[in-house]
Amino acid sequence: MTYSTLRLCSGRAAFEAVPRPKLSLDLGQIRGRLERAGIPVTDARVLLIARMEREVTVARDGRILIKSADAPEAARILARLRSLIDLPA
Partner 1 sequence: MLMSGGIDSPVSMYYLLRQGHDLLAVHMDNRPFTDDTPLEKIVDHLRVLGERFERKIPLYVLPHGPTQIELMRNTDRHVGCVLCRRFMWRSAERIAEREHATFLATGESLGQVASQTLSNMRSATASVSLPIVRPLVGFDKQEIEAVAKSIGTYGISTRPGLCCQAVPDRPATRSGLVQILQQEERIDVESLIDDCVRRAVVM
66 versus 85: smaller Cβ distance to partner 1 = 66
Shortest distance in whole angstroms from residue 66 CB to partner 1: 11
Between residue 20 and residue 59, which ones bind partner 1 under the rule CB under 8 A?
A: 42-47, 49, 55, 57
Q: What one-character DSSP code corresponds to residue 30?
A: H
Q: Which stretches of the chain bind partner 1, using CB under 8 A? A: 9-14, 42-47, 49, 55, 57, 61, 65, 67, 69
